[in-house]
Structure 1
Amino acid sequence: MLAEPQTTPRATGDAPRTIRLQETDNVAIVANAFGLPAGTVFPDGLTLGEFVPQGHKVALADIGTGEAVRRYGEVIGYATADIPRGGWVEESRVRTPAAPRLDELELATRVPAPLPPLEGYTFEGYRNPDGSVGTRNILAISTSVQCVAGTLEVAIRRIKQELLPRFPQVDDVVGLTHAYGCGVAINAPQAVIPIRTLQSLAQNPNFGGEVMVVGLGCEKLVSERLLPDGQSGGVVRLQDERHQGFGMMLDSIMAMAEARLAVLNRRRRETCPASDLVVGLQCGGSDAFSGVTANPALGFAADLLVRCGGTVMFSEVTEVRDAIHLLTPRAETEEVARALIREMAWYDDYLAKGDADRSANPSPGNKKGGLNNIVEKALGSVAKSGTSAIRGVLAPGERVHRKGLIFAATPASDFVCGTLQLASGITLQVFSTGRGTPYGLAEAPVIKVATRTELAERWSDLIDLDAGRVASGQATIEETGWELFHLILDVASGRRKPWSDHWGLFNDLTLFNPAPVT
């Protein structure tokens, strides 16, 4: 866990403030909304030589050409030209360092001791026959091919209008639609990723085990492959000869849905230990405050969940790769550390085959928020993982079978990451953002945490928790982490509704398909 950020003293009004994270850092970020002009003088005598936007870095000492730029106590780059004390450490003035070598990493050398267990924390969830527990009671209808997505959309509109009101214990009906299933190299080695993802998605605990698939009939991905082992009778195939026209296709979908709604309607929330929670952590629209306020608070809450015996997933390979040297020593075993390296190496190769590199991340918005490069972004991103030992690693789309802190390998794309975390079994997600995004999931509640108070106030009907108070000194990381932990329990229990659920702001599922499209 990061130490509390060191801020310059706060006087009356919006006095000029910077945030420095470690004593060894030779840069700090400007905390004031809208930045500070040239000539601004700080209490320690530091004087800005030029305008510096909020979240962007200012040199605390002269940094010569080729010298290291340090933030988080780590080298985030090398100066491409002399940067004087008080100068703006702008993106073009910093050269990105090489990524840590995967063959030189420490493996399980600094495994954190278990934190004291937390007992007595519960939530109201939906227990499933397989022992898993959902936070929602949803009928999910899978598709085996994109061709049927439009038909399913029409069917779901009718199901919500004609059937759902008769089953008040069911929260929603969602379609697990996608662009896969045909016109693809179904037997290519990497096709395992989208197929495994679809198989796992249907078994998310929020869906109560009532798997249902709508297929076409001529697709490469045979509908039955999406049913759990040993299950049959859960497929509506539109090309079946019994279907005389579109109306009969809809009737078949609705009849199968009605039978499953009746089963789901018998589910009731019951008191479950917090150890039954499976929570995903993600960040999007990140800025320089992400690793100062929101992500450390997420990390503290993650530690609390792990102490309760729960499961917490963090992801986004490209936003972990440059901080991997901080994670492999925390792996519970050498086997777990090697699995982390396996996923990093796989993604290095994947990017190389696409003639891409680490410079493709961060986004223009991330850079406007003060992040110079992927190294700085990764160091802030991994703060979400807290301080617990890493107990397991999941390849994309694999279901989780262990409790504790888990790394679930995904791309950094919000939509792909969310889809893969759902496939891995999360029943609730916490999403931190600095620039702001209306991202949400229909399949699991999403709690939005703002890195800056200015964003939380401007987007007051989209942000669920303001972590920007850490930067202003109004709250500590620990206090914000506890607040988030209790919010997670309330949202998981249905006592609180996050803003994305309130507005019905839900993004489409997006499969990760590194295999060829034919």
Structure 2
Amino acid sequence: MAKAAEPASFQGFKRKDGRTGTRNYIAICSTVNCSATVSRYVADEINRSGMLDDYPNVDGVVAFAHGTGCGMAGEGDGFDNLERVIWGHATHANVGAALFIGLGCEIFQMSRMAEKYDISDPERFHRMTIQGTGGTRKTIEGAVERIKELLPTVNAISRTECPAAELKVALQCGGSDGLSGVTANPALGHAVDLLVAQSGTGILAETPEIYGAEHLLARRAASQDVGEKLIERIQWWEAYTSRNGGEMNNNPTPGNKAGGLTTILEKSLGASAKGGTTPLAGVYKYAERVNTPGFVFMDSPGYDPASVTGQIASGANLVCFTTGRGSAFGSKPAPTIKLATNSRTYENMTEDMDINCGDIASGEATVEEKGQEIFSKFIKVASGEKTKSEALGLGDNEFVPWQIGAVM
């Protein structure tokens, strides 16, 4: 466990509700697939117009478009997931204002969410439907004008000094290899220990990818209730995969196997190392708001886009992603920092990788030294430094809410 260090800070955006952002976006939240294209057209028109040059404190306009919102049950796990995801992104600390765009007749009704969550702030939340506005073209034009009106207000906020305790980092791995559990994952775990020592938060997820190692996390639970919540999630997944004709012990992908991982147990032991060594302070549902500082776990699939979508909705304002085979992942509104587990991948994909952890394997760095480097990168990126994925413009198509249940 890392020792408490001198208080660290970053330059962030302090919101009225007390939370702190690392970016400042305007979000267009599509409530249903029927409004997905309209939402993307609106964001593209604003981002490509050049008008954002006059608003330096605005990082961009991002469309959270998806493939669901109708043809689904109006209650249950699937509906609750989508509701938490949409609400979590609209109210995210990295979002200065949100415009909800729907078709009008879908299952996922904005009025229902507005009543449940008291969406009443006229500066931050705005709504329109394609049916109510008069069609596709009129909705695009109206939404563009609405965002133009929002830009001065969203731009008015400036970065100020904020404690590292305000950082909530989503912990992810994808394209793992045999070195993941030796280099990048334990180094990220040490960075998480440093963050927790600052009263910050690390959010581990990907429930199928801790399978077989869940007892190691449960053993660290801060209370019996926390440990039981984790085991209950594992049992839910066993039943979920079984009724869908799958099995929990068949997780490694062809790429994982080519990289040296042969079983889910090997993969899980490495994946769980991302969580460091501090007590497990809480266990959360998918996309549930994380309000407990420290190391926590959020239930999610192992599929990276769906998992990160949930972590960001839960409040993560940074994402840290380890990879051995290589990844072209990016995310918005929270930026992704990518760690290569080996030097070959880092050198092969230098435009995608932020930090090389392969020098641990070569003996040029220790896990602790690399963990300190990763923690320092947290501070720099939180203060506005662009990640490699941001420089490439990634993150617009990685918004993937986890769908559960029948499509009707």
1:70-109 matches, cutoff 5 A: none
Equivalent of 1:198 in 86, 90, 105: 86
User: Aligned-pair distance for 1:115?
Assistant: 5.3
Asked if the contact 1:318/1:358 (under 8 Å) is kept, the reply is yes
Q: Which residue of 2 aligns with 1:127?
A: 14
Matches within 5 A, 1:206-245: 206-208=94-96, 210-227=97-114, 229-232=117-120, 234-240=126-132, 243-245=133-135
Label 1:362 to 1:216 Cα distance change in 2 as closer, same or farther (>3 A): same
- Report deviation, 1:163: 4.1
1:190 & 1:504 partners in 2: Cα distance? 30
CA offsets 1:102-141 (integer angstroms, 9 cap, x no match) = xxxxxxxxxxxx8543332100000111111110010111
Q: Secondary structure of 1:178's partner? A: coil
1:338-353 matches, within 5 Å, as 338-353=228-243
C-alpha change, 1:307 and 1:501, in structure 2 (3 Å) is same
Q: Is the 8 A contact 1:184 1:516 kept in 2?
A: yes
- 1:19-63 CA distances to partner (integer Å, 9 max, x unpaired)? xxxxxxxxxxxxxxxxxxxxxxxxxxxxxxxxxxxxxxxxxxxxx
* 1:352–1:245 distance in 2 versus 1, CA, 3 Å: closer
Query: 1:357-387, CA deviations, whole angstroms, 9 ceiling, x for partnerless residues?
Result: 0243110000000001100100011010110
Q: In the aligned structure 1, how far is the partner of 2:177 from the partner of 2:50? A: 45
Report what 1:294 is aligned to.
184
- Number of residue-to-residue matches in the alignment: 401
Q: Relative contact order: is structure 1 or structure 2 higher (C-alpha 8 Å, sep ≥ 6)?
A: 2
SS of equivalent residue, structure 1 residue 211:
strand
Does 2:358 align with 1:492? Answer: no
Asked if the contact 2:186–2:273 (Cα under 8 Å) also holds between the matched residues in 1, the reply is yes
- 1:430 is paired with a residue whose SS is strand
1:394-424 superposed Cα distances (whole Å, 9 cap, x missing partner): 1111011111111011111011111111111
Q: Name whichever structure is richer in helix by fraction.
A: 2
Does the aligned pair in 2 maintain the 1:197–1:511 contact within 8 Å?
Answer: yes
Aligned counterpart in structure 2 of residue 436 of structure 1, from 307, 320, 326: 326
Q: Is the partner of 1:313 in helix, strand or coil?
A: strand
Match of 2:312 among 414, 422, 425: 422
Residue 281 of structure 1 aligns to a residue whose secondary structure is: strand
Q: Which amino acid aligns with 1:168?
A: P
- State the one-letter code of the partner of 1:140: A
Over 3 Å counting, the alpha-carbon distance change for 1:361 and 1:324 in structure 2 is: same
Q: Does 1:335 align with 2:207?
A: no
CA shift in 2, pair 1:292/1:245, >3 Å: closer
Residue 65 of structure 2 aligns with which residue?
Answer: 177
Q: Secondary structure at the match of 2:319?
A: strand
C-alpha distance in 2, partners of 1:115/1:156?
A: 43
TM-score w.r.t. the length of structure 2 is 0.95
Instruction: Tell me, yes or no, if structure 1 residue 372 matches structure 2 residue 262.
Output: yes
Residues 245/405 of structure 1: CA separation in 2 closer, same or farther (3 Å cut)? closer
Q: Which residue of 2 aligns with 1:354?
A: 244
Specify whether residues 183 and 245 from structure 1 end up closer, same or farther in structure 2 by C-alpha distance, changes over 3 A only.
Answer: closer
Aligned residues of 1:217 and 1:238 also touching (Cα < 8 A): yes
Q: For residue 7 of structure 1, what is the aligned residue in structure 2? A: none
Q: Is the contact made by 1:451 and 1:466 (CA closer than 8 Å) also made in structure 2?
A: yes
1:401 matched to 2:291 = yes
Q: How does 1:131-142 map to 2 (within 5 A)?
A: 131-142=18-29
- The whole-number CA distance in structure 1 between the counterparts of 2:35 and 2:135 is 14
2:281 aligns with 391
Structure 2 residue 168 is matched with structure 1 residue 278: yes
**Following TM superposition, by how much is the alpha carbon of 1:162 offset from its aligned partner in structure 2, in angstroms?**
6.0
* Counterpart among 33, 37, 44 of residue 150 in structure 1: 37
CA-CA distance at 1:191 after TM superposition: 2.5
Per the alignment, residue 311 of structure 1 pairs with: 201
Q: TM-score, normalised by structure 1?
A: 0.75
Partner SS state of residue 415, structure 1: helix
- What is the alpha-carbon root mean square deviation over aligned residues? 1.5
Q: 2:231 & 2:356 partners in 1: Cα distance?
A: 34
- Aligned equivalent of 1:502: 391
**What is the SS of the residue equivalent to 1:358?**
coil
CA contact (8 A) 1:224 1:235 kept: no
8 Å CA contact 1:202–1:226 kept in 2: the answer is no
CA contact (8 A) 2:72 2:406 kept: yes
What's the CA shift for 1:256?
A: 2.3
- What is the distance in 1 between the residues matched to 2:237 and 2:85? 17
Distance in 1 separating the partners of 2:76 and 2:198: 41
The amino acid of 1:500's aligned partner reads S
* Structure 2 CA distance for partners of 1:189 and 1:303, relative to 1, 3 Å: closer
3-state SS, counterpart of residue 250 of structure 1: helix
Q: Give 4+ residue runs of structure 1 displaced > 4 Å after superposition.
A: none
1:457 to partner: Cα distance: 1.3
SS at structure 2 position matched to 1:380: helix
User: What SS does the corresponding residue of 1:460 show, helix, strand or coil?
Assistant: coil
Counterpart contact for 2:211–2:248, Cα < 8 Å: no
How far apart, CA to CA, are the structure 1 residues paired with 2:372 and 2:21? 22
Cα deviation 1:172-208 (Å, max 9, x = unaligned):
1101111111111222454222222222222211003
Q: 1:244 to 1:371 in 2, by over 3 A?
A: closer
Q: Tell me the distance in 1 between the aligned counterparts of 2:5 and 2:244.
A: 46
TM-aligned CA deviation for residue 445 of structure 1 = 1.1
- Aligned AA for 1:238? I
Shift of 1:442: 2.8
Partners of 2:39 and 2:259 in 1: CA distance:
40
Which of residues 117, 123, 126 in structure 1 aligns to 2:4? 117
1:381 aligned counterpart, secondary structure = helix
Identity %: 38
Is the CA contact (8 Å cut-off) linking 1:198 and 1:226 kept in structure 2? no
